[in-house]
């Protein structure tokens, strides 16, 4: 069953039930849409696109902030048999042109936040025949979406969607270089929905509070569990601890997916008394889960002091695996906090050496995964595809080890490994220790070139607000908690750059500090 079929099924079974709520607390904005309205509006988008000549395997670029309309347009695109091409809202004009050019998109939907960026490069996009604006004050060179769908039917196009056919072209966030185009199929999307539902057991009584960006293969694929079960979801467009608590309270949220910085913000606010649990009804909040980046064990232990009975899960995944869930901890395995877990629903995983052979239990190797969520390819890049897809397995580029209970422990990215004086340092191990300091808000460890040792480890630390922590304090802390060869040789205080999905942008830090020595 395609995700398009899941939407149609919900519209038939639960036509008048609320499918989505959209909130922007600072403007006191609240919108909602039923399953029937959601389905009908997606059909109008599909029929309008069909009239412009958009057919199977055509591409439609999609550049918007999170909203109900984002999802309506997304489903309208895939119902034509075309490929949806969602773009990162942080992309600059050059990135937008690069991605749209690779996709050879016929249509570009964009919101008001992107007028200047799109206008700057629209002359460089010869394949784009229609620029569709989703805001109010339409640029003269674009068409407003209201005019675009005027007179379009709410009936289904009845396009037959082949499960093995592509339906989405997703670009990586570009934290390690130019964004790579990842081609995903309808089967990939279905598997993401089945995986999420299997892991978190959404029912019709759940309300998933969705915060991360929809363009990414993270939060949206988690929401697919709600789509599969026909349960409500709430799009919270502004992220502050108080807004999250108010939303869970007022909308009766049951599941919240957080990034590490957001969970940390909540804990800081609770610790300082800026928000108080007792001021909100949070009893129905059954699950907090985190993904997209390594989760410090200290953070979850801290979280449990405030929410001892709340379920917790963490998910590991990549855009190449249609997002999260190829490995997950499992809500029942809180005793294994720190591990990323076991292979997810319908997935297989191994830890292998450089020759692709399984390594011994407890030995660090590369994590490889296999399942129905594996991407079709890196679009237009057969060489790169062949590097990571081998004999049906995805070579993730991530280092991991497996314990005697079969749980996988994430070590680090291969490319982030620091070799100092012949010793291997895995930055995440050091970051985990540093994050255990009560005055540290965020931390990143990077390698800096060194003539004598090859490179040395530098810790970039963002202290908690109001902290007076010093380099000497951190050096003493690392001396007490780390073996000598793992201790950072440099302590730097700075903000930690993270992309919209929470990953540390270490390339930016290396570029900034590489010439420090």
Residue in the block written with tokens 């089945």: 194
Residues 348-380 pLDDT 10s: 999 999 899 999 999 999 999 999 999 999 999
- pLDDT level of residue 421 (50, 70, 90 thresholds): low
Q: Give the mean model confidence (pLDDT) for residues 37-56.
A: 97
Give me the number of domains the chain comprises.
2
Residues of 289-316 as b/e, b for ≥16 C-beta within 10 angstroms? bbbbbbbbebbbebbeeeeeeebbbbbb
Q: Concatenated DSSP letters for 94-108?
A: HHHHHHHHHHT-SEE
Residue 10 and residue 227: Cα distance in Å, rounded?
Answer: 8
Residues 501-515 pLDDT 10s: 677 888 888 888 877
3-state SS track over 217-232: CCHHHHHHHHHHHCCE
Record the tokens describing residue 272, joined without a space. Answer: 């300082």
Q: Concatenated DSSP letters for 435-503?
A: TTSTTEEEEEEEEEEETTTEEEEEEEEEEPTT----HHHHHHHHHHHS-GGGS-SEEEE----B-TTS-
Tell how strand 365-371 and strand 347-352 pair up. Answer: antiparallel
pLDDT of residue 209 exceeding 80, the answer is: yes
Expressed in angstroms, the distance from the first to the final Cα of the chain is 57
CATH number at 13 reads: 3.40.50.12780
Does 398 fall in a domain? no
Does 38 fall in a domain? yes
pLDDT reported for residue 177: 56
Q: Which of 125, 159, 190 is the last residue of a domain?
A: 190
Helix runs in 182-324, H state only: 186-200, 219-229, 241-251, 260-271, 297-306
Residue 504 and residue 249: Cα distance in Å, rounded?
Answer: 31
Residues in the chain: 517
CATH number at 434 reads: 3.30.300.30
Record the tokens describing residue 496, joined without a space. Answer: 């930690």
Q: Give the mean model confidence (pLDDT) for residues 334-354.
A: 94
Q: Which of 157, 190, 223 is the last residue of a domain?
A: 190
Range of the domain at 469: 417-513
**Can you give the pTM of this predicted structure?**
0.86
- pLDDT level of residue 517 (50, 70, 90 thresholds): low
Does 367 fall in a domain? no
Residues 223-266 pLDDT 10s: 999 999 999 999 999 999 999 999 999 999 999 999 888 898 99
Q: Give the mean model confidence (pLDDT) for residues 121-143.
A: 96
Does 259 fall in a domain? no
Q: Which of 159, 190, 221 is the last residue of a domain?
A: 190
- Residue 292: left if φ>0, alpha if ψ -120 to 50, beta else—which one? left
Does 350 fall in a domain? no
Higher pLDDT, 56 or 516: 56
Does 411 fall in a domain? no
For residue 335, how far is the Cα from the chain centroid?
25
Residue 497 and residue 489: Cα distance in Å, rounded?
Answer: 21
- pLDDT level of residue 175 (50, 70, 90 thresholds): very low
Residue 292 and residue 276: Cα distance in Å, rounded?
Answer: 28
Q: How does the average pLDDT of the chain come out, rounded?
A: 92
C-beta atoms surrounding 36 within 10 Å: 17
Does 217 fall in a domain? no
Does 401 fall in a domain? no
């Amino acid at each position: 069953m395609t995700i398009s079929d899941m939407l149609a099924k919900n519209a038939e079974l639960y036509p008048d039930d609320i499918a989505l709520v959209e909130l922007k607390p600072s403007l006191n904005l609240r919108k909602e849409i039923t399953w029937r309205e959601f389905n009908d509006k997606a059909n109008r988008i599909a029929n309008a696109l069909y009239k412009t000549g958009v057919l199977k395997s055509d591409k439609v670029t999609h550049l918007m902030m999170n909203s109900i309309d984002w999802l309506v347009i997304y489903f309208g695109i895939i119902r034509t048999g075309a490929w949806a091409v969602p773009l990162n809202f942080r992309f600059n004009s050059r990135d937008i042109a690069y991605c749209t050019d690779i996709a050879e998109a016929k249509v570009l939907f964009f919101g008001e936040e992107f007028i200047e960026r799109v206008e700057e490069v629209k002359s460089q996009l010869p394949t784009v025949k229609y620029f569709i604006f989703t805001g109010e004050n339409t640029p003269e060179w674009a068409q407003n979406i209201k005019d675009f769908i005027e007179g379009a039917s709410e009936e289904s196009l009845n396009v037959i969607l082949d499960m093995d056919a592509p339906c989405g072209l997703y670009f990586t966030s570009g934290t390690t270089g130019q964004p790579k185009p990842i081609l995903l199929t309808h089967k990939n999307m279905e598997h993401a929905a089945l995986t999420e539902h299997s892991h978190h057991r959404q029912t019709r009584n759940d309300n998933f509070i969705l915060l991360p960006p929809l363009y990414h293969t993270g939060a949206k694929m988690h929401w697919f569990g709600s789509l599969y079960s026909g349960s409500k979801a709430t799009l919270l467009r502004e992220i502050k601890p108080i807004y999250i608590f108010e939303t869970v309270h007022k909308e009766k949220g049951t599941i919240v997916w957080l990034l590490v910085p957001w969970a940390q913000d909540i804990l800081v606010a609770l610790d300082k008394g800026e928000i108080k649990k007792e001021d909100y009804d949070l009893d129905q909040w059954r699950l907090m889960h985190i993904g997209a980046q390594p989760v410090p064990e200290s953070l979850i232990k801290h979280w449990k002091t405030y929410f001892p009975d709340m379920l917790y899960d963490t998910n590991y995944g990549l855009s190449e695996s249609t997002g999260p869930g190829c490995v997950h901890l499992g809500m029942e395995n809180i005793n294994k906090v720190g591990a990323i877990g076991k292979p997810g629903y319908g997935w297989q995983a191994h830890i292998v050496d450089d020759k692709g052979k399984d390594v011994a239990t407890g030995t660090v190797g590369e994590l490889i995964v296999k399942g129905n969520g594996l991407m079709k390819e890196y679009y237009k890049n057969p060489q790169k595809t062949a590097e990571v897809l081998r004999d049906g397995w995805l070579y993730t580029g991530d280092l991991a080890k497996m314990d005697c209970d079969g749980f996988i422990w994430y070590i680090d990215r291969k490319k982030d490994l620091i070799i100092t004086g012949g010793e291997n340092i895995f930055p995440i191990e050091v970051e985990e220790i540093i994050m255990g300091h009560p005055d540290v808000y965020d931390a990143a460890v990077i390698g800096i070139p060194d003539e004598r040792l090859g490179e040395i480890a530098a810790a970039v630390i963002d202290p908690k607000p109001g902290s007076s922590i010093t380099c000497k304090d951190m050096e003493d802390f690392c001396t007490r908690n780390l073996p000598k060869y793992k201790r950072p040789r440099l302590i730097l205080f700075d903000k930690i750059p993270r992309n919209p999905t929470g990953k540390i942008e270490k390339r930016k830090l290396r570029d900034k500090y590489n010439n420090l020595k």
